Amino acid sequence: MDSIASKKRFRRLIPLAFITYSLAYLDRANYGFGVAGGMGEELNITTGVSSFLASLFFLGYFFFQVPGAHYAEKHSAKKLIFWSLILWGGLATATGMATHVGWLYPIRFLLGVVESAVMPAMLVFLSHWFLKEERSRANTFLILGNPATVLWMSVLSGYLLNSFSWRWMFILEGIPAVLWAFIWLKLVNDRPKNASWLSNKEKKDIENEFNKEQSALKPVKNYREAFKSKAVILLSLQYFAWSIGVYGFVMWLPSIIKNASNMDIVSTGWLSSVPYVVAVIGMLVLSHYSDKTLNRKIFVWTSLLIGSIAFFASYLIGSSNFWLSYSLLVIAGGAMYAPYGPFFAIIPEILPRNVAGGAMALINSMGALGSFVGSYIVGYLNGVTGGPSASFIFMASALFVSVLLTMAVKAPAANETKKRMKVASQ
């Protein structure tokens, strides 16, 4: 593949994918700041209701993953994401207009429903544009929208809450998604063959490379056959356990820090952003070496094991040393995020294109269930016990289970992958 064409695709598409997923993550993760910044008191939201509202998003997020991936593969990821941007931006803004806690139930659930199509649609979209040796980096730059957004959102939300109110935080942070929808529609093409910014030769070369990749994979008839495969089942369970740790952490980190340190909301915002700096660095490093070696599994399970150990160590320290415990949370947060790129590169390397998108959607939907469990139970444990120690053990255990499940997946070894690619090119 021509390196110039590869750089052209990265420069054109990765910033668009990154910004889109960043906006999606902004409008789902700022709930924790809203609760810590006065929404809970004004709307009389109890600890139990707050935990349920945080997790309700993921219940909605669970239902439409596979239909979203199917539509993106068979029709258009571009159009699906356009309408999702408009709808989730509107729902996020509506959160700031709620005058009673009852309004938050349908808003949080529908926000999850609308955003459920985004991740699988984006993964399908990138799989149409980037080859095996590029895929982990492409996925990473997409998912970097997650920790990078929480990083700047943590600081921005703190200032908006301090300068205005939780209402204006939600309203102002929801508007950009609606505006961005029209930029996305203008600049994106579903497949290389539709892109006017590629030459005919570049389009042909890309298509030939994709055909070589597909010919090296064992045919799979339909979703039913794909979903029954051992690898898909194990990865679904793995992502469920992994997501318990990630979203228990994301949704409740601001509250954990604020309660443990008694700092103001701006300082809490700054401290909440640090784990995501580590996450961004880790994701870039792991995706680079994963694509270089074409090894995926080892980068996933070792990183998650570090996260599990860090949570357990933070539990052992407890409240006796805030800064040491906080430093371990920084390590845990960075380690949990680092292997996303290699993880989502596994499925397109073991399943053909006609079912890979649906399989990734199924795995992501199980992650949504894990996110529901994690965000609810972590919030519940924090409220019942009066501190985060029990939730640290819970998240550490979930991550350790995900390590074991990752190791059990039979994915192509790096030398086998390279051999397949060589045979296919002959």
Question: What mean pLDDT comes out for the span 141-153?
Answer: 77
- Would you say residue 390 has pLDDT above 90? no
Counting DSSP H helices and E strands in the chain, the numbers are 21, 0
Evaluate whether 30 touches 173 at the Cβ level (below 8 Å): yes
355 neighbors 225 (Cβ within 8 angstroms): yes
pLDDT at 369 (0 to 100) = 87
Per-residue pLDDT at 398 exceeds 50: yes
| Whether pLDDT at 417 is above 60 | no
Model confidence at 344, pLDDT cuts 50, 70, 90, reads confident
SS3 sequence, 61-112? HHHCHHHHHHHHHHHHHHHHHHHHHHHHHHHHHHHCCCCCHHHHHHHHHHHH
Mean pLDDT, range 374-380, rounded to an integer: 81
Return the minimum-mean-pLDDT range out of 6-10, 179-183, 196-200. 6-10
Which candidate, 39, 41, 180, places its Cα nearest to that of 97?
A: 39
Residue type, 195: A
What was the pLDDT predicted at 423? 43
145 and 122 Cβ atoms separated by less than 8 Å: no
Mean pLDDT along residues 169-181: 90
- The CA-to-CA distance between both ends of the chain, in Å, stands at 15
pLDDT at 4: 57
pLDDT band at 426 (very low <50, low <70, confident <90, very high): very low
The model's pTM: 0.75
- Structural contact between residues 155 and 34, judged by C-beta atoms closer than 8 angstroms: no
Q: Average per-residue pLDDT in the chain? A: 84
Q: Is the pLDDT of residue 411 over 90?
A: no
Look up residue 232 and give its two tokens.
């898909």
SS3 content of the chain, % helix, strand, coil (to 5): 85, 0, 15
Q: What percent of the chain has pLDDT over 90?
A: 20
Q: Provide the pLDDT for residue 5.
A: 64
Give the pLDDT mean for 344-371.
85
pLDDT in the model for residue 240: 95
Alpha-carbon distance of 114 to 299, in angstroms, equals 31
By the 8 A CB rule, do 203 and 192 touch? yes
Cβ-based burial of 267 (10 A; exposed 0-12, middle 13-18, buried ≥19): middle
Per-residue model confidence (pLDDT) at position 235: 94
What is the per-residue pLDDT across 235-275, written as a single tens digit (0 to 9) for each? 999 999 999 988 778 767 777 777 766 777 677 778 877 88
> CA separation (Å) from 18 to 104, 172, 217, 417?
28, 20, 29, 28
Report which residue type is found at 205.
Answer: D
Instruction: Write down the pLDDT at residue 291.
Output: 86
Q: Which of 179-188, 212-221, 291-300 has the lowest mean pLDDT?
A: 212-221
User: Which tokens sit at 205?
Assistant: 């070369």
pLDDT in tens, 276-299: 888 889 988 998 888 888 888 999
pLDDT tens column, 300-340: 999 999 999 998 998 888 777 778 888 888 899 899 989 99
Q: Specify the pLDDT at position 166.
A: 87
Positions of E strands within 221-346? none
Highest mean pLDDT (candidates 39-48, 283-292, 393-402): 393-402
| Least confident interval from 62-66, 196-200, 285-289 | 62-66
Asked whether 371 and 55 are in contact (CB, 8 A), the reply is yes
pLDDT for 425 equals 45
Residue 75 has pLDDT above 50, yes or no: yes
User: 129: closest CA among 48, 194, 84?
Assistant: 194
pLDDT of residue 159: 82
Q: Mean pLDDT throughout 110-129?
A: 87
**Average pLDDT of span 122-128:** 88
CA angle 312–315–318, rounded 5-degree value: 155
More confident residue, 135 or 195: 195
